[in-house]
Amino acid sequence: MSNIYYIGVDLGTSQTSITTSTGKRFSTTTCIGYTKDVISQKRFGRDHLLGEHALENRLSLNMIWPLADGVICEDEQSLQATVLILKHVIAQTTTEKEKDDKIYAAIGVPAQASIKNKKAIIEATKEFIDKIIIVSEPFAVAYSIDRFDECLIVDIGGGTTDLCRMHGSMPDESDQITLNFAGNFLDNELKKAILHKFPDVQLSSKIIKSIKEKYGYVSEVSEIVKVTLTKRGIPSEYDITDILQACCLKLTTPISKAIQELVGSFDPDFQEKLRNNIIIAGGGSRLKGIDIAIEKSLHEYGGGDAICVQDAEYCGSIGALKMCVEMPDEYWEKI
């Protein structure tokens, strides 16, 4: 008799995580590197590397970030890269799977991707997924914490920030907004600001991301942040405290405007409840003080209350798994 593996996947622009009904979890960077030439192919013994392994060896590879803009890029290579990433995370967590066993998957993707790329993902995964639901990532977050009442999910990812208005039923396109102000935007702003103040330091995308993830904050009070950077190969310490706060705060204004747009177009009897139930998720929720900063930026619109989820890395995939297990059969084709 065949077994069914229920899996929830959070297919993000920067990070992909998976949670399974057998209790397994796995997370990886949403990228693929294809070998540049015969030398790199000989070095690795294959034509591509995935996730962190690809990043560590990126000098030998042509890197692909298939969901960098919040949707699967409209070319065959990006779609194939997405399929390889999904195959990879599923294989890592279903090692005991037998040939006749089934895979039922709920996949959370950026809000715009769930609208534009739904059919492409379903068609491309037929070979290794037996049943599939495609949902927006913020809805998966809401499902993970059982918040189906009037609340507003703000999922700050790598390429996009996705907002979803919950109101006790399935959200539709009008309940969701996608912004390009997210982790990658913050990385670019941080890099520009550091180079403006210290024009000769040597930076890479990995260095900038490490600084953001370790020290990023938007609160008014923080310890002095000094980082070691190189200048012509010589390491020195640089104070980036003010730079870091100023750049991180650039996220809050567009997010607050989008929150107000969803609140302002909602049923007026429930607007107050919506604005006072803002839930922040995604990698951006790890920025120290992001909830307080969003609350302050909402003062001009009448205020609001925000909290951050506890498990930023796996919240989306946990919600997708719960959805996968609980959804009635008739919903698999509708979502």
pLDDT digits (tens, 9 = 90+) for 217-266: 777 666 788 999 999 999 999 999 989 888 888 888 899 999 999 999 99
Do residues 27 and 81 both lie within one domain? Answer: yes
Do residues 38 and 112 both lie within one domain? Answer: yes
Do residues 15 and 96 both lie within one domain? Answer: yes
Torsion 10-11-12-17 (CA) sign: positive
Do residues 119 and 225 both lie within one domain? Answer: no
Do residues 109 and 198 both lie within one domain? Answer: no
Do residues 40 and 118 both lie within one domain? Answer: yes
Query: Among the three residues 222, 249, 276, which one is the final residue of a domain in this structure?
Result: 249
Spatial CA neighbour of 111 closest among 77, 140, 76: 140
The one-letter code for the residue type at 325 is V
Do residues 126 and 191 both lie within one domain? Answer: no
- Please report, for the chain, how many H helices and E strands are present, in that order: 13, 15
Query: Among the three residues 193, 217, 249, which one is the final residue of a domain in this structure?
Result: 249
Residue 74, classified by CB atoms within 10 Å of its CB into exposed (0-12), middle (13-18) or buried (19+), is exposed
Q: d(Cα 177, Cα 121) in Å, to the nearest integer?
A: 21
Q: d(Cα 268, Cα 313) in Å, to the nearest integer?
A: 34
105 occurs within a structural domain: yes
Domain range for 222 is 183-249
The band of 195, judged by pLDDT with boundaries at 50, 70 and 90, is very high
Q: What is the pTM of this model?
A: 0.88
Residue 328, classified by CB atoms within 10 Å of its CB into exposed (0-12), middle (13-18) or buried (19+), is exposed
pLDDT digits (tens, 9 = 90+) for 79-89: 889 899 999 99
Looking up residue 131, the CATH number of its domain turns out to be 3.30.420.40
What's the domain count of the chain?
A: 2
Do residues 117 and 206 both lie within one domain? Answer: no
Q: d(Cα 113, Cα 160) in Å, to the nearest integer?
A: 11
Q: Is the pLDDT of residue 189 over 80?
A: yes
Do residues 86 and 16 both lie within one domain? Answer: yes
Q: Is the pLDDT of residue 203 over 90?
A: yes
- Out of 10-14, 118-122, 162-166, 312-316, pick the least confident: 118-122
